[in-house]
Amino acid sequence: MDVPDDAVLFDMDGVLVDSETYWHRFEDDWVFAEAIESGSPAHEEVTGMPYYEIYDYLEETYGTAVSKDEFTAKYEERAVSLYGEQVELTEGVPELFEAIRADGRALAIVSSARRAWIDIVRERFGLDPLDFVLSAEEIDEPGKPEPYVYEHAAAELGLEPSECVVIEDSVNGIESAACSGAFTIGFRSTHNAELDLSRADVVVESCAELREVLEID
């Protein structure tokens, strides 16, 4: 298996922290219960998408019962305690980050979360130094599942997407990475245990397995 060794780009939600469990609960309790007009969306339809694009998707597919301003405000309000107090770091991440740095590979976070939310996680768990951080809100192109965030991140690092490894947990995120041409690793956990991650080049279930794929001691 020919795995690029120039850069490793991590999604945040569901990979670095266990936030998807909390977001899914929020979707069940409010988004799918009160913010749409009809239907029963599956979590994987929206997981990985920027929250402001989730509204557009739901409006087109199911109809919405709230304004976009109210919708985004609810997400922003929920994010403060979710990232600041509730989420936990995935086991093995600090050691993995140190090993990637020691191996001389560029290290980045590429997320659909707002930059402010990424910064809360970075500071709370001491994830710096990073070579690059990108929030989907910082580019003028659609977010995941479109490939633009990963194309942009690779370009900022002076690389082609094919020279990068991307670690993603969601169907939308994996699609984004795969379409960009990056070597895509699906990260399996409890929140996505039943999802089809076959668009990824390989699927792992822990940071230990990830180290093996990256061939990092």
**Tens of pLDDT, residues 30-40:** 999 999 999 99
- Of the candidates 56, 61, 57, 49, which has an alpha carbon nearest to the alpha carbon of residue 145? 49
The pair of three-digit structure tokens given for residue 24, joined into one six-digit string:
């899914």
Tell me which residue has tokens 């965030």.
Answer: 149
55-95 residue pLDDT tens? 999 999 999 999 999 999 999 999 999 999 999 999 999 99
Q: Do 62 and 156 lie in a common domain?
A: no
Please indicate, yes or no, whether residues 100 and 73 belong to a single structural domain of this protein.
no
- Say yes or no: 200 and 109 in one domain: yes
Q: Share the mean pLDDT of the chain.
A: 97
Residues 81 and 184 in one domain: no
Whole-number pLDDT of residue 217: 81
The pLDDT, as a whole number, for residue 152 is 98
Q: pLDDT over 90 for what percent of the chain? A: 99
Q: Is 198 left (phi over 0), alpha (psi -120 to 50) or beta?
A: alpha
Residues 96 and 70 in one domain: no
Residue 115 lies in a domain: yes
CATH number at residue 141: 3.40.50.1000
- Are residues 13 and 25 located together in one domain of the fold? no
Whether residue 186 is found in the same domain as residue 151: yes
Q: Which residues are CB-contacts of 132 (< 8 A; sequence separation ≥ 6)?
A: 106, 108, 109, 153, 156, 157
In this structure, the answer to whether residues 60 and 114 fall within a common structural domain is no
Is residue 1 domain-resident? no
Range of the domain at 165: 7-17+89-214
pLDDT tens for each residue of 128-181: 999 999 999 999 999 999 999 999 999 999 999 999 999 999 999 999 999 999
Residue 2, domain member (yes or no)? no
Residues 78 and 99 in one domain: no
The candidate with the shortest Cα–Cα distance to 165, out of 9, 2, 1, is: 9
Percent of the chain with pLDDT over 70: 100
Choosing from 86, 119, 140, the residue where a domain stops is 86
Is the residue at 110 inside a domain? yes
- Residue ending a domain, among 86, 116, 140, is 86
Judge whether residue 1 has pLDDT over 90: no
Grouping H, G, I as helix, E, B as strand and the rest as coil, residue 57 is helix
What's the total number of domains in the chain?
A: 2
Q: How many Å apart are CA 149 and CA 140, to the nearest integer? A: 10
94 and 82, same structural domain?
Answer: no
pLDDT digit string (tens) for 86-131? Answer: 999 999 999 999 999 999 999 999 999 999 999 999 999 999 999 9
Asked whether residue 186 is assigned to any structural domain, the reply reads yes
Last residue within a domain, chosen from 86, 108, 143:
86
Whether residues 138 and 181 fall in one domain: yes
